[in-house]
């Protein structure tokens, strides 16, 4: 039986579900190492929906023993058409607001802005 069949079969066993899922994610190469994601909520960096290319991690034998540099905060100038945002939602008691910045460094996995980041060519997991 090939490895993929074993993973699929074991995933439906109630006792092993979390371990199997963790093993599949670890083998995919998408998980970001703990020491590289300090202060960020995203634990993986899969290719985005709008990205033209897909990246797959594999061991090519060129592993480096040097420490990788930490992620840096990058500030970009934003030139909006207007500062005032209009809102017609019935559950908010106002129809205009001002949001002085865009983005954050939290990287929450449930963030609504992930598709926007992918559309703009940014990483949905790291470029916040």
84-95 pLDDT tens trace: 888 888 888 989
Work out how many domains the chain is built from and give that number.
1
pLDDT at position 9 is 63
User: Is residue 15 predicted with pLDDT exceeding 70?
Assistant: no
Asked if residue 108 belongs to a domain, the reply is no
Would you state the structure tokens that stand for residue 12, as one six-digit string?
């439906």
Which of 45, 6, 41 minimizes the C-alpha distance to 28?
45
**Which tens digits make up the pLDDT trace of 30-58?**
666 666 655 556 666 667 778 888 777 77
17 belongs to a structural domain:
yes
Whether residue 62 is contained in a domain is answered as: no
Per the listing, tokens 């066993």 go with 13
Could you tell me the pTM of the whole model? Answer: 0.29
What does the pLDDT read at residue 27?
73
Is residue 105 in some structural domain? no
Range of the domain at 2: 1-30
More confident residue, 119 or 86: 86
Whether 22 is in a domain gets the answer yes
Residue 79 maps to a domain:
no
Burial class of residue 11, CB neighbours in 10 A (0-12, 13-18, 19+): middle
Decide if 23 is inside a domain.
yes
């Amino acid at each position: 039986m090939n490895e993929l069949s074993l993973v699929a079969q074991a995933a439906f066993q109630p006792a092993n579900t979390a371990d199997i899922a963790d093993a599949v994610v670890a083998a995919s190469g998408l998980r970001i190492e703990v020491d590289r994601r300090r202060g960020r909520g995203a634990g993986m960096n899969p290719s985005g929906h709008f990205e033209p290319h897909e990246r797959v991690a594999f061991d090519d034998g060129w592993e480096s023993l040097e420490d990788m540099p930490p992620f840096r905060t990058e500030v970009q100038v934003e030139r909006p058409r207007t500062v005032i945002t209009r809102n017609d939602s019935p559950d908010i008691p106002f129809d205009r607001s001002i949001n002085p910045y865009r983005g954050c460094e939290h990287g929450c996995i449930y963030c609504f802005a992930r598709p926007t980041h992918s559309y703009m060519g940014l990483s949905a997991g790291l470029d916040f």
